[in-house]
């Protein structure tokens, strides 16, 4: 196993993902301070508008910089990123806080009873603990608008299902492992759907198709089923 658990204090590593993408790896673990550094560099690279940089992809632990090798060589890009890194070491970007109304009652909390049984706690306690915490949007992936949030309070951690459940609805609030996701589309899933938001996290008709950005802090506000229906 290679060195793991590199903390945020360590120097980031520059790794090549072909001749058209450079990975700036801050570590190999999930850790808010490490993700802060990803976000700071992401903002700095975006702001710098380096010729030849196509787009950046922030993840839990790294920033992938996609570039056009016709305009920009690897070494030149690495030099520019290194300069930006030096300037952003102590920068922390304050997260935007997003309040997300969500209903944790039937018919929207499809798997809440099952989660309560598996964790041996009552449903009200799950909702209370779940909505007390704030969740960082660490990254998108898997499908468009599929946002990975973390981290779930320890006592709510539940292993992923061995076999996927039937498709969940758009806006399903789901948990598994230490993660929380809000889905932008209906999909079969190995996660547990404990609630649903009436917000459309992804809507092509909207000027900003994606409601949230990587780095946002999501706080769920419980609403009852009647309120949910008024929203929709």
Partner 1 sequence: MSGRLRVLSAGPGETIQDAGRYGYLRYGVVASGPMDWIAYEILNRALENPRDAAAIEISRAGIAVACEAAPLVVAFGGGGFIWERSGARLSTAGIVRLEPGEHLRARAGSSWGNWTYLAIAGGIDVPRVLGSRSTYARFAIGGIEGRALRAGDALAACASDAQPQTGALLTPLLERPKGSIRVVLGPQDDYFTDEARATFFTQAYTISTRFDRMGYWLEGPRITHSGGFDIVSDGIPLGAIQVPGAGQPLVLMADHQATGGYPKLGTVARADIGAFAQHRPGENVRFEACTVDAARRALLDVYASLERPLSRASDEALASSNLIGGVISATD
Residue 54 touching partner 1 (CB under 8 A) = yes
- Which residue, 43 or 119, is less far from partner 1 as judged by CB? 43
Which of 32, 107, 141, 167 is the binder for partner 1 (CB under 8 A)? Answer: 141
Residue 222 touching partner 1 (CB under 8 A) = no
Which of 8, 58, 171, 195 is the binder for partner 1 (CB under 8 A)? Answer: 58
For residues 30, 35, 36 and 41, what is the CA-based torsion angle, rounded to 10 degrees? 160
- Which residue, 121 or 146, is less far from partner 1 as judged by CB? 146
- x/- track of binding to partner 1 for residues 8-47 (CB under 8 A): -------xxxxxxx-x-x--xxx-----------------
Task: Determine the Cα–Cα distance for residues 149 and 16; give it in Å rounded to an integer.
Answer: 27
- Quick one: 165 exposed, middle or buried, by C-beta within 10 A (0-12, 13-18, 19+)? middle
Q: How far is the CB of 196 from partner 1 (least distance, A)?
A: 20
Q: What's the DSSP call for residue 180?
A: E
Q: How far is the CB of 192 from partner 1 (least distance, A)?
A: 19
- Which residue, 144 or 167, is less far from partner 1 as judged by CB? 144
Task: Determine the Cα–Cα distance for residues 222 and 220; give it in Å rounded to an integer.
Answer: 6
What does the block give as tokens for 223? 């609403």
- Which residue, 27 or 198, is less far from partner 1 as judged by CB? 27
- Which residue, 46 or 132, is less far from partner 1 as judged by CB? 46
Question: Which alpha helices (H) appear in the chain, and where do they start and end?
Answer: 32-48, 74-88, 112-119, 123-132, 225-231
Task: Determine the Cα–Cα distance for residues 226 and 27; give it in Å rounded to an integer.
Answer: 45
Can you state the angle between helices 112-119 and 123-132, rounded to 10 degrees? 100
Which of 103, 139, 152, 175 is the binder for partner 1 (CB under 8 A)? Answer: 139
- Which residue, 144 or 159, is less far from partner 1 as judged by CB? 144
Residue 212: C-alpha distances to residues 7, 99, 202 (Å): 27, 11, 9
- x/- track of binding to partner 1 for residues 202-221 (CB under 8 A): x-x----xx---x-------
Q: How far is the CB of 140 from partner 1 (least distance, A)?
A: 4
Task: Determine the Cα–Cα distance for residues 53 and 46; give it in Å rounded to an integer.
Answer: 9
Where along the sequence are the contacts to partner 1 (CB under 8 A)?
1-2, 15-21, 23, 25, 28-30, 54-64, 66, 69-70, 73-74, 139-148, 185, 202, 204, 209-210, 214
């Amino acid at each position: 196993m290679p060195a793991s658990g590199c903390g945020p204090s360590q120097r980031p590593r520059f790794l090549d993902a072909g001749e058209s993408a450079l990975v700036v790896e801050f570590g190999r673990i999930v850790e808010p301070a490490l993700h802060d550094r990803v976000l700071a560099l992401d903002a700095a690279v975006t702001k710098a508008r380096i010729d030849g940089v196509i787009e950046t992809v922030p993840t839990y632990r790294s920033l992938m910089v996609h570039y056009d090798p016709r305009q920009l060589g690897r070494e030149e890009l690495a030099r520019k990123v290194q300069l930006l890194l030096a300037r952003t070491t102590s920068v922390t970007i304050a997260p935007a806080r997003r309040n997300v109304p969500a209903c944790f009652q039937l018919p929207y909390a499809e798997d809440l009873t099952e989660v309560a049984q598996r964790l041996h706690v009552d449903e009200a306690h799950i909702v209370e603990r779940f909505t007390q915490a704030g969740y960082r949007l660490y990254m998108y992936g898997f499908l468009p608008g599929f946002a990975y949030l973390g981290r779930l309070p320890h006592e709510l951690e539940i292993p992923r299902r061995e076999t996927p459940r039937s498709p969940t609805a758009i806006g399903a609030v789901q948990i598994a492992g230490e993660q929380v996701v809000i889905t932008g589309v209906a999909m079969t899933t190995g996660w547990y759907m404990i609630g649903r938001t009436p917000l459309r996290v992804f809507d092509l008709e909207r000027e900003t198709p994606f409601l949230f950005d990587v780095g946002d802090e999501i706080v769920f506000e419980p609403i009852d089923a009647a309120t949910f229906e008024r929203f929709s």
